[in-house]
Structure 1
Amino acid sequence: MKWTEMEVEQPTVMTMLRQAVKKDRLSHAYIFEGMHGSRKEEAALLMAQSIFCARQTEGRPCESCVECKRIAHGNHPDVMFLHPDGDSIKKAQVEALQKEFTYKGMEAGTKVYLVHQADTMTASAGNSLLKFLEEPASPTMAVLLTENAHFLLPTIQSRAQRISFAPPLLSTRTAYFQEQGMSPASAGLLARLPDETLANYEEESKEWIVQGRALVIQLISEVQQRPQQALLTLQEKWLVHFKDRKELDIGLDLLLFWYRDLLSVQKAGGEFAYPDQMQKLESQALSITEQEIAASMQFILDAKRRLRANVNNQLLMEQLVLHLQEGS
């Protein structure tokens, strides 16, 4: 994607980056945060091009010189990439990156490294990266790409400049799923899930997500009205449907969408993930405070974080349901 196109999609971000390049005020570390589809990866590459471009103008790269083309194709020696190895970025990967950076930059004084899905770093990998941020072997710039910056170590967050990317238009994504034959309610829900979550699902598997939606509605109703039944539903239905960590993470997202809808009801505005459940949402919104909704959302985010630490799925969900019952 070209810089001018990115300025249309992410005007605030690109103006900020262009001014930083133009005035030579780039930070040594950035956190690019935004949901999948917000083009943060493309923005990171364009920023790298602007650093190395021989014909940069007013902070914008020419995108046609040798340096720009090499970066665009991922083969510039001083622009490096770190991706998860399996489900996470491991300490050995960070150490290998550090070793590369001990060598002198081949074509410029600065090296740039992009860490994809930075929130998947293990604790030991995060601590190794933190040391690297504090004591780089040579002039470097780190760009940490993530959908969930709050999963990064607080010490890493404090040493990097966070840049938030606007989400892609929800209406555009919803319309796409409706064109694929999904109902408006289901399309609105699918549009909120990250593309990589949906990428490996065929049409029948997308129906699995819709069935998960029905389980969320059932569980929420039982949390409010039949607390003991909620724990039984967890064992007999929820954990049968959301079997592994990846699937349970999706289930937690669907729960989170419900509480976001509650917040939208109280604030009398917003686009809803569960538009066909307005009667239930409005009823629940009358019996719960905004602070309780915020606390419930934090409980769910905490559960997502603990899920990455290999906590037992049943124990995690039982504790979450108890917390949600307290909030209700």
Structure 2
Amino acid sequence: MAMRWEQLAKRQPVVAKMLQSGLEKGRISHAYLFEGQRGTGKKAASLLLAKRLFCLSPIGVSPCLECRNCRRIDSGNHPDVRVIGPDGGSIKKEQIEWLQQEFSKTAVESDKKMYIVEHADQMTTSAANSLLKFLEEPHPGTVAVLLTEQYHRLLGTIVSRCQVLSFRPLPPAELAQGLVEEHVPLPLALLAAHLTNSFEEALALAKDSWFAEARTLVLQWYEMLGKPELQLLFFIHDRLFPHFLESHQLDLGLDLLLYLYRDLLHIQAGQMDGVLYRDQLDRLQRWALACPQRRILAGMEAILQAKTRLNTTNMSTALLVEQLVLQLKR
């Protein structure tokens, strides 16, 4: 879903204010550097700026999002807007030279051209030097937007020729509220907002039926820790393994379990606002009352160790989970 100006202003107010000021004064920089963590909306913002610059019917600082140019930018088909990214792990000199050739031509449909470089920190040294020359001698009407999660890896001379706009991580509460506005149930929104900082990723996760089932299974998982060992292991093999089949799925399941344990700590401390499994408050309060704090902390440590082993060893996931549940049960 394409970003709207109101969404940019809400999620990244400082960035929106800087761009709005430039648009209103007709002083758009010839080069921007959008830097910030993955999922903070850098590419969506760069495309929003492109749409505003090429929009046939702008409304103030907002593009109409409906005209031919806005639609073509969304589909990647506008001849005067180019997006490049790493080819086989890096951005190569040939890609920058191709951009230079394209932008030395007359703009096809207007007097403006714009290019977006994704993961700009992954340029080879020769590509970076080639881009630097391009930035030092910009063609009239050309706007460059470089996107990076690690701008300290860029040449200082490139950074100095760009207007740097920093994209802040979205606080989980704001992210959850945005998900609720997209009709995601609050219990799923709260968890998804803590699992990723990317609105798009959180929305996709929260709307996936797999995620809702994973949450239900994790609650059952904790409840089964109070059952006889044989019954618990049967649940693990019959219900958990088929659902958390891939390593990344199990990693997410462990995160969900970790947040459940964290909720028990919040309840014991009387910090109800921090509870993520909020619709399960009655059950959580019973569990928190029956479980000493040292046991909760030991459980969290065991889960974190399991996550580390999952991501750093070739250990069987079945064996890893069996060992974890026996640790948690003890």
In structure 1, distance between residues paired with 2:72 and 2:80: 10
Deviations 1:189-237 (A, max 9, x none): x5479999xx996213558999xxxxxxxxxxxxxxxxxxxxxxxxxxx
Q: CA deviation at 1:54?
A: 2.0
In structure 1, distance between residues paired with 2:124 and 2:254: 30
Deviations 1:109-137 (A, max 9, x none): 12100011111111111111001111234
Residue 79 of structure 1 contacts residue 112 of structure 1 at CA under 8 Å; is this kept in 2? Answer: yes
Q: CA deviation at 1:21?
A: 1.0
> Which of 71, 74, 95 lines up with 2:73 in the alignment?
71
Residue 102 of structure 1 contacts residue 138 of structure 1 at CA under 8 Å; is this kept in 2? Answer: no
TM-score (norm. length: structure 1)? 0.55
What are the equivalent positions in structure 2 for 1:119-198 lying under 5 Å apart?
A: 119-171=121-173, 191=196
Report the counterpart of residue 108 of structure 1 in structure 2. Answer: 110
Q: CA deviation at 1:96?
A: 1.3
In structure 1, distance between residues paired with 2:54 and 2:199: 32
Residue 173 of structure 1 contacts residue 191 of structure 1 at CA under 8 Å; is this kept in 2? Answer: no
Please give the secondary structure, in 2, of the residue aligned with 1:142.
Answer: strand
Report the counterpart of residue 223 of structure 2 in structure 1. Answer: none
Tell me the amino acid that sits aligned with residue 22 of structure 1: E
Please give the secondary structure, in 1, of the residue aligned with 2:56.
Answer: coil
Please give the secondary structure, in 2, of the residue aligned with 1:114.
Answer: strand
Report the counterpart of residue 204 of structure 1 in structure 2. Answer: 250
Tell me the amino acid that sits aligned with residue 166 of structure 2: S
Query: Structure 1's 51 and 174: CA in aligned 2 closer, same or farther, altered over 3 A?
Result: closer
TM-score (norm. length: structure 2)? 0.55
In structure 2, distance between residues paired with 1:134 and 1:104: 19
In structure 2, distance between residues paired with 1:115 and 1:11: 23
Q: Unaligned stretches of 5+ in structure 1?
A: 211-237, 244-328
In structure 1, distance between residues paired with 2:40 and 2:7: 13
Query: Structure 1's 56 and 134: CA in aligned 2 closer, same or farther, altered over 3 A?
Result: same
Tell me the amino acid that sits aligned with residue 47 of structure 2: L
Residue 30 of structure 1 contacts residue 160 of structure 1 at CA under 8 Å; is this kept in 2? Answer: yes
In structure 2, distance between residues paired with 1:74 and 1:201: 34
Query: Structure 1's 174 and 56: CA in aligned 2 closer, same or farther, altered over 3 A?
Result: closer
Report the counterpart of residue 81 of structure 1 in structure 2. Answer: 83
In structure 2, distance between residues paired with 1:194 and 1:160: 27
> Which of 8, 15, 21 lines up with 2:17 in the alignment?
15
Q: CA deviation at 1:79?
A: 0.5
In structure 2, distance between residues paired with 1:5 and 1:240: 37
Tell me the amino acid that sits aligned with residue 78 of structure 1: D
Q: CA deviation at 1:240?
A: 12
Aligned CA-pair RMSD: 3.9
Tell me the amino acid that sits aligned with residue 119 of structure 1: D
Report the counterpart of residue 5 of structure 1 in structure 2. Answer: 7
Q: Unaligned stretches of 5+ in structure 2?
A: 180-186, 206-245, 257-307, 314-330
Report the counterpart of residue 319 of structure 1 in structure 2. Answer: none
- Number of residue pairs matched? 217
Please give the secondary structure, in 1, of the residue aligned with 2:165.
Answer: strand
Residue 40 of structure 2 contacts residue 197 of structure 2 at CA under 8 Å; is this kept in 1? Answer: no
Residue 84 of structure 1 contacts residue 90 of structure 1 at CA under 8 Å; is this kept in 2? Answer: yes
Structure 2 residue 102 is the aligned partner of structure 1 residue 56: no
What are the equivalent positions in structure 2 for 1:217-296 lying under 5 Å apart?
A: 242=312
Please give the secondary structure, in 2, of the residue aligned with 1:202.
Answer: helix
Tell me the amino acid that sits aligned with residue 99 of structure 2: L
